[in-house]
Structure 1
Amino acid sequence: MKAAWITAHGGNEVVMVGEHAQPIRERGEVLVRLRAATLNRVDLYMRDSGAGITHRLPQILGLDGAGTVETVDNDETRLTPGQQVVVHPGITCGRCEFCLRGERVLCSHMSLLGEHRDGTFAQYVSVPARNVFPMPAGLSFAEAAALGVNHLTAWRMLFSKARLKAWETVLVFGIGGGVSLAALQLAKRVGARVLVTSRDRQKLMRASKLGADHTIDGSTQDIAKAVMAATDGRGVDVVIENVGAAVWSSAMKSLVRGGRLVTCGATTGDQPPADLRRIFIRQLQIFGSTHGELGEFQDLCGFVEQTGLKPVIDREYPLDQVHDALDRLESGAQFGKVVLRID
């Protein structure tokens, strides 16, 4: 099969494209013929160093993907050959204390596609049947592939952690990135008011067209003051944040008393000032969140089909042009998901 993999760590020179051994399907697994995969920041991280992530080389990159079922066990009742499907990239042990109490997302032995095992930048991937879900109707393979990381992460942040209500107001940092755009789309679909920030005017204009109720230019405006002005001095109920140290103070100051902040990233640093006095006096709640449960993914897929939500796609590249796709993601210029077409 054709695939894209890393042979070492560095720049694009370590990313190879060519023929690779096809995965062997084990009992209980589904062999999926992939048609699209999307890029995530971790693909750049794995290429650059992969530090702190147990992995082996060579390693096929890619966390999320969508395609068709190639082969399954004869007694599989939910999935059939030829069916269009989307993949959940987290393979759990099923035996640790977290799996046993129904919190697989906390599995102490989780292996992620593209990180701990071969991923989706390939024509085929084999994963446990529980990790394969029918593709929501109305989506292209590229749009469906985008659900497995960014939209699932945003779904858990908004609804499982922050427990967002339709009448509440949300502040989303860094609009244009995958998780941030997903949070905007999902929050608007349930009726919430959404404020977004970016240092890029074009991204703010595009976010407005997607339904953002208010935009804040982080390059020219004091974010917390702008939030207070937009909310009549009240603040927002929920902050969705994946930037880290550079915006942490603004995020904290933007919350109403008793507000909730959910973070899933730290691209500008992971050691912001704690601001403990503000936390306990205003009784703020801070949640960390990463990825999502199988059940949450099932709920997300159903929600997407029922509401007609379509993930935002920035650009599509053939698998042979994976270097260009990685460069596009690394530039930070993207608005939505960068996609690999796997033909």
Structure 2
Amino acid sequence: MHAAAFTEYGAPGVLRWQEVPDPPCGPDDVVVETVTCGLNHVDLDCRAGTAPWELALPHVLGAEFAGTIVEVGAAVRGWEIGRPVTAHQQFACGTCADCARWRPDLCPHLELVGYHRWGGYGAYVRVPAKALIALDSIDQADVAASAQCVLSVAWNMVTRLARVTAGETVLVPSASGGVAGALVQVAKLAGARVIATTSSAEKAPHIEALGADDVIVYGDTPVAEAVAELTGGAGADAVLDTVGGPMINDHLASLRPDGRLAICGAHAGETAAVDLLSVFVRGSRILGFRICTPDDERTALRLALTGQVTIPIAARFPIERAADAHAYLGERRHVGKVILEHPTRAPKT
């Protein structure tokens, strides 16, 4: 098959459309012909060699994908060739002690598609049949390839990590990104007031369209001061942060006493000097996102497929131009999701 693969770590240009071996179909597996694949920032880290796990090269990324089944393993029942599907981006063994106590997210054998095994940057993807999720039609491919990662993380952060409740005020920094945009919408579903920030006035209308009640543009006023003004001096109940970096103290200062800072990313900087005195004097809680549960992923996909949450698509690239897509995503000019389209996809009309 052909895939956008890389044989060495480096800049986007190491991604090349090239011939790689077809994935073998085991007895409990299916092989899916990929139609659409979503990009995530961790893809950039994997390609650059800065991700928290080492990959065997060559490697094919792509956690979120959708397509049709083209091969079914001998032991698989209930799935047929031609069925439109997506798959859980991660799956557990189902037999260990953690799986037995209903914590598959803690499974020591947890596999992530696109990282522990090849993913949707390839023409074909092999996944266990137990990981499949049926689609009503291939017309749902864009949603399936765009929503699962960003929306499951957002759902987890709002409902499990920060435990946002109706009537609370939430700050979502850098809200034009995929996860952050989903956080705005999920926090609104939870009944919260949402204050969002962005680096560009041009992005503000797009963020407001997602449901943000107020949008702060960086540089106009310090974030903590702007939040204080918008909340009558009370501060936010929770900050849902996807970027990390040097703004962490501003976000902590935006919290009311006993507020929560939930964080799931560090693309703006993996280390930061934190004012610890302020943290314990104000009783702030810093909560780190680790991983979604299968229930989070199923809920996320249902919210997206039913239209309760919309993940805007910022740009589409042919899979052969995956390197250009990585460069575009790295520029952080987008609002929403970037997706790759495979040659098998029918032209849009």
Q: Same fold (TM over 0.5)?
A: yes
Which residue pairs with 2:68 in the alignment? 68
Which residue pairs with 1:41 in the alignment? 41
Q: In structure 1, list runs of 5 or more residues that go unmatched.
A: none
Kindly state the Cα deviation for residue 335 of structure 1 after the two structures are TM-superposed: 1.0
Q: 1:188 to 1:122 in 2, by over 3 A?
A: same
C-alpha contact 1:3 1:19 (8 A) present in aligned 2 = yes
Q: Give the letter aligned to residue 146 of structure 1.
A: S
2-side partners of 1:138 and 1:16: how far apart? 27
Which residue pairs with 1:101 in the alignment? 101
Q: 1:151 to 1:78 in 2, by over 3 A?
A: farther
Q: 1:264 to 1:59 in 2, by over 3 A?
A: same
Q: 1:59 to 1:250 in 2, by over 3 A?
A: same
Which residue pairs with 2:347 in the alignment? none
C-alpha contact 1:30 1:128 (8 A) present in aligned 2 = yes
Root-mean-square deviation (Å): 2.3
Give runs of aligned pairs for residues 109-124 of structure 1, distance below 5 A.
Answer: 109-124=109-124
C-alpha contact 1:135 1:301 (8 A) present in aligned 2 = no
Which residue pairs with 2:149 in the alignment? 149
Q: Give the letter aligned to residue 7 of structure 2.
A: T
Which residue pairs with 2:176 in the alignment? 176
- After superposition, the C-alpha distances for 1:226-269 in whole angstroms (9 at most, x for unaligned) are 01111111111221112213211111111122222110111222
User: Which aligned runs of 4 or more in structure 1 are off by greater than 6 angstroms?
Assistant: 136-139
Kindly state the Cα deviation for residue 134 of structure 1 after the two structures are TM-superposed: 2.6
Q: In structure 2, list runs of 5 or more residues that go unmatched.
A: 345-349
Kindly state the Cα deviation for residue 96 of structure 1 after the two structures are TM-superposed: 5.0
Give runs of aligned pairs for residues 1-343 of structure 1, distance below 5 A.
Answer: 1-50=1-50, 52-73=52-73, 76=76, 79-135=79-135, 140-342=140-342, 343=344
- After superposition, the C-alpha distances for 1:82-110 in whole angstroms (9 at most, x for unaligned) are 33322222233445554343222233343
Q: Give the letter aligned to residue 99 of structure 2.
A: C
2-side partners of 1:38 and 1:51: how far apart? 18
Q: Give the letter aligned to residue 336 of structure 1.
A: G
Kindly state the Cα deviation for residue 29 of structure 1 after the two structures are TM-superposed: 2.2
**Corresponding pairs, count:** 343
C-alpha contact 1:142 1:341 (8 A) present in aligned 2 = no
1-side partners of 2:137 and 2:224: how far apart? 40
Q: 1:249 to 1:117 in 2, by over 3 A?
A: same
- After superposition, the C-alpha distances for 1:132-185 in whole angstroms (9 at most, x for unaligned) are 223378964122211221111111111111122232221111111111011112
Q: Give the letter aligned to residue 238 of structure 2.
A: V
C-alpha contact 1:98 1:106 (8 A) present in aligned 2 = yes
Task: Please state whether the residue corresponding to 2:68 is helix, strand or coil.
Answer: strand
- After superposition, the C-alpha distances for 1:8-27 in whole angstroms (9 at most, x for unaligned) are 11223321203322211222
Q: 1:269 to 1:13 in 2, by over 3 A?
A: closer
Q: 1:76 to 1:168 in 2, by over 3 A?
A: farther
2-side partners of 1:75 and 1:93: how far apart? 17
2-side partners of 1:102 and 1:15: how far apart? 38
Kindly state the Cα deviation for residue 73 of structure 1 after the two structures are TM-superposed: 4.7
Kindly state the Cα deviation for residue 56 of structure 1 after the two structures are TM-superposed: 0.5
2-side partners of 1:38 and 1:115: how far apart? 14
Q: Give the letter aligned to residue 222 of structure 2.
A: D
C-alpha contact 1:87 1:145 (8 A) present in aligned 2 = no
Q: Give the letter aligned to residue 178 of structure 1.
A: G
C-alpha contact 1:139 1:310 (8 A) present in aligned 2 = no
C-alpha contact 1:198 1:217 (8 A) present in aligned 2 = yes
Task: Please state whether the residue corresponding to 1:262 is helix, strand or coil.
Answer: strand
Task: Please state whether the residue corresponding to 2:127 is helix, strand or coil.
Answer: strand
Q: Give the letter aligned to residue 69 of structure 1.
A: I
2-side partners of 1:246 and 1:237: how far apart? 21
Identity of aligned residues (%): 32
2-side partners of 1:75 and 1:115: how far apart? 25
C-alpha contact 2:22 2:124 (8 A) present in aligned 1 = yes
